[in-house]
Structure 1
Amino acid sequence: MSVDATVERLASSDRTEREAAEETLVAAGAEAVEPVLRALCDEESPIDWSTSASLLRRLGDPAFGPLIAAMAAAPTSEVARRCGWALMAVEVSTPAVYLPALRHPHPKVRRSGIYFFQRRQVDAEPYLPDLIALLDDPDEGVRDNLIRGFGEIGAVAAPALREVRRGAGRKRRAALAALAEIGGWDALDDHDRRVITRLIEIKSGYEEPEPMHLCGSWYALPTADQAAVLDAFDLVEPRPVTMRLGESAWNRDQHSSRHRVEHPECRRNYVTPCLDGWTLVFGRMPSVAHIRDADDFEKALRADVKARTARLSDRFGAAHWYGTSCGDGWTAWCIAEKGEVVRFYDNFDPDDQIGDGHPAETGYRLPHGSAFPEGALAGLAHLPMEEIMERIRQLREELDIPDDADSTMIAGRLSVNPDEFGPHTRVEGRAVLALTACGVAHGSTPGALSV
């Protein structure tokens, strides 16, 4: 059977036949590369693209050059994506085969080459000079991929990056970010720490609050006594930062996917200056952050929030906790006064409420359950999204259905809404990042942050 005919068998609905065809093509070696690559680049091909891509990875060295050429000449972004996915993990005889990808004129090819060495981690050490040569790459995406790549390669790359920092030229800035990506504050030498500290001091002098990207939870306390707040949360070693840096750290920790470090999401908390009379604390608490089962985590979080806000309100007179998600519609709030939780609401577990409502919720409906009578939304599914949204707006108006309450609205009514920070927000004191018990035990959190 010809190679082309064998490739066609990859579209078979019979798994055994497909797997037999794959093994035959792997045995055919270089002869199979062109027809398999042709199938990968054909968006109308009946062969699943991931089958073709995985097969090209297995074909090894002979597939490498053709994949690079196909990716550089890809007629659509989808074809480029497919080729890039295959290119990132070709089973080559030696990592040196990938060096042409790092030097290729097309930035997407260079990015795929970086990812290959990123996955090799310590085995990438002999190729560090080739990676370091890209620190001043003209393409921002290549530089960003490289910085993340050094973070995965890890400490073996740190000496070479420090050497770049001691030299001159345009690579120095990206080298600093790469060092931070590897080990955070602890990966920097004394000179770089002084430079960053000075930059933070300068920027803090004229920084104005800006609306925050909110995806997670935070506490709000009616006090300007930051030392008392740090003590109440068992936070130590506060380091002054800009508000931008604090937000950057919180968002990175909140969405951390690093598996090479322990507890990356709960080593530090961002504590704001006093903003319009309220000090906010962003970050996960070590007491619950280590729980990996999603259901167990949610139960433990709710219990911890209620107990913590009650204790905090006993100390500060009042304490609030707010939660929101930018992806799945989650919203929650907990309000405590003088040692007692007076209101708790979580739209993902509406049966676990405390209180019959709160004055801050007046004029809004709680967002769990449908706002509309049964059948009111029938027939909308086939309409364009713009028309669906307009019809929902009309129905709300016709049926006099109020808007849904959410945590940011409640925060704006009761304390401060971080989504509405701006030049009008009154600032007292300094923002800090402070270590939790996990931070003390495990050291600084890896990752480059915005200053």
Structure 2
Amino acid sequence: MPDTINALVRDLSDDDRSVRQAAEDGLVALGMQAVDSLLPHVGVDGSSRLKWSAETVLQRLGDEALPRLREIRSHGPGRLRSNALKVLVDLGGAEYLDEGDRSAVERLVRVKLKNELPVRVPSEAGRWLAFPAERVDDAVAALGLHDLRPATTIMGVAAATQATDSLEFQSSQGKARTAYRVFITPAFETWLSEVPIQNWRMLWGNSFIDQLDGFTLADKLSERCGEAHFYVIDPYNSAENWYVAREGHRVRSFGSYDLPRFRGEPLPFEVEYREDADEDEAEEYAEGVPYALTAADMLSVEPGRMPASSTHGHGWLATTHPDVPNSRFKGALPI
């Protein structure tokens, strides 16, 4: 049997797609007997056909692989324990880790938090909410968040934008529900002296924002926090949005495809842009500022690399339902 498994693993890197597919199917049919032979290849740096195929087989095995992965974590062999940890969380979530592993991960997060500055929040694309940093408790209450856990920024952004960030489950009342995972960033200072709120946090969570509507969430946040913003950068559709809510109501917004594109009265920073515009910029800023990053920079804080001197505290991972803690979400996260 070992020779058969090793031959199938070698075929995972074959140039012929049909050979690779047959090897994947054969390894899946062998079940958890194949786990030990696949694990060494998921830890390879970079991207390779063998790495991708090995990970695909393990994903297809799913729950069937979990008992063997847990056994490796507990009893070895030692050379496979590190990769078994990653795959175990990828396939089952942190709830499948034993108490020792969970404690070790939590200790590592605490250590990384002490030395994570400066941090970087992605600015190339995405959608996020912003709210006054000192109102974080109000934001948690307004959005109904649970199981807040300290998280590094790289960990939190990955959890909310790349890994599994939504989960279908049965509630304690037997109803089909969806829980979401979100990331609340550290507090970031704004450099504008005329902005009354000097520290802001962002909230990232693609599925949460998409399904519950970022505009509605901004209104809800502003009811409890006084002010909240929603920003969208969508290069695929050449679209941008920015939205400012105060005391539960929109005061100003822009949307590339909205009709009209601007709603509400221009804010002071927009008036300055219009007044300072040269001849070439006059039409661009005639109605207001049509750029989400510019609005974020002038109203709260622009994503990107955040200087250590203007970053305070740490971020938090949270979920949207008390029955679904962070540990139930699948996917190993960078720390």
Task: Give the TM-score of the pair, scaled to structure 1.
Answer: 0.58
Aligned partner of 2:301 among 387, 397, 416 = 416
CA distance in 2, matches of 1:450, 1:324: 24
Aligned partner of 2:72 among 157, 164, 172 = 164
Aligned partner of 1:262 among 140, 143, 168 = 168
- Summarize deviations over 1:315-368 as a string: whole Å, max 9, x none: 222111111124332211110123321012221324364214333335769xxx
CA distance in 1, matches of 2:149, 2:17: 35
Is 1:176 equivalent to 2:82 in the alignment? no
Alignment of 1:23-172 (within 5 A): 100-103=7-10, 107=13, 123-125=29-31, 126-135=33-42, 141=48, 142-143=50-51, 146-147=54-55, 149-166=57-74, 167-172=76-81
Aligned partner of 2:260 among 351, 356, 379 = 351
Q: What residue identity is the alignment partner of 1:435?
A: T
Alignment RMSD (CA, Å): 3.8
CA separation of 1:352/1:138 partners in 2, compared to 1, >3 Å: closer, same or farther?
closer
Structure 1 residue 262: Cα displacement: 3.2
Is 1:250 equivalent to 2:125 in the alignment? no
Q: Paired residue for 1:48?
A: none
- Summarize deviations over 1:27-60 as a string: whole Å, max 9, x none: xxxxxxxxxxxxxxxxxxxxxxxxxxxxxxxxxx
Aligned partner of 1:330 among 239, 246, 266 = 239
Q: Paired residue for 2:193?
A: none
Alignment of 1:306-321 (within 5 A): 306-321=215-230
Alignment of 1:368-407 (within 5 A): 402=284, 405-407=290-292
CA distance in 2, matches of 1:262, 1:112: 34
CA separation of 1:119/1:355 partners in 2, compared to 1, >3 Å: closer, same or farther?
farther
Q: Which runs of 5+ in 1 are unaligned?
A: 1-95, 290-299, 366-395
Q: What residue identity is the alignment partner of 1:205?
A: K
Conserved? CA contact 2:129–2:228, under 8 Å? yes
Aligned partner of 1:185 among 72, 94, 97 = 94
CA separation of 1:198/1:399 partners in 2, compared to 1, >3 Å: closer, same or farther?
closer
CA distance in 2, matches of 1:353, 1:408: 16
Structure 1 residue 314: Cα displacement: 2.9
Conserved? CA contact 1:117–1:124, under 8 Å? no
Conserved? CA contact 2:181–2:326, under 8 Å? no
Query: Normalized per residue, which structure has more helix?
Result: 1
CA separation of 1:194/1:320 partners in 2, compared to 1, >3 Å: closer, same or farther?
same
CA separation of 1:421/1:146 partners in 2, compared to 1, >3 Å: closer, same or farther?
farther
Q: What residue identity is the alignment partner of 1:123?
A: A
CA distance in 2, matches of 1:124, 1:326: 44
- Summarize deviations over 1:279-327 as a string: whole Å, max 9, x none: 21111465962xxxxxxxxxx73xxx44432332232221111111243
Conserved? CA contact 1:143–1:174, under 8 Å? no
CA distance in 1, matches of 2:259, 2:206: 22
Conserved? CA contact 2:186–2:311, under 8 Å? no
* Higher RCO by CA contacts (8 Å cutoff, separation 6 or greater): 2
Conserved? CA contact 1:346–1:353, under 8 Å? yes
CA distance in 1, matches of 2:259, 2:18: 46
Conserved? CA contact 1:253–1:266, under 8 Å? no
Structure possessing the higher radius of gyration over alpha carbons: 1
| SS state at 2:310 partner | coil
Q: Paired residue for 1:445?
A: 329
CA separation of 1:279/1:115 partners in 2, compared to 1, >3 Å: closer, same or farther?
farther
Alignment of 1:279-298 (within 5 A): 279-284=201-206, 289=211
Q: Which runs of 5+ in 2 are unaligned?
A: 170-176, 190-198
Paired residues, number: 307
Aligned partner of 1:232 among 134, 137, 142 = 142
CA separation of 1:399/1:286 partners in 2, compared to 1, >3 Å: closer, same or farther?
closer
Q: What residue identity is the alignment partner of 1:182?
A: L
Conserved? CA contact 2:256–2:290, under 8 Å? no
Is 1:435 equivalent to 2:308 in the alignment? no
Structure 1 residue 163: Cα displacement: 2.4
Displacement over 4 Å in runs of 4+: 96-99, 106-122, 135-140, 263-266, 284-288, 362-365, 396-404
| SS state at 1:345 partner | strand
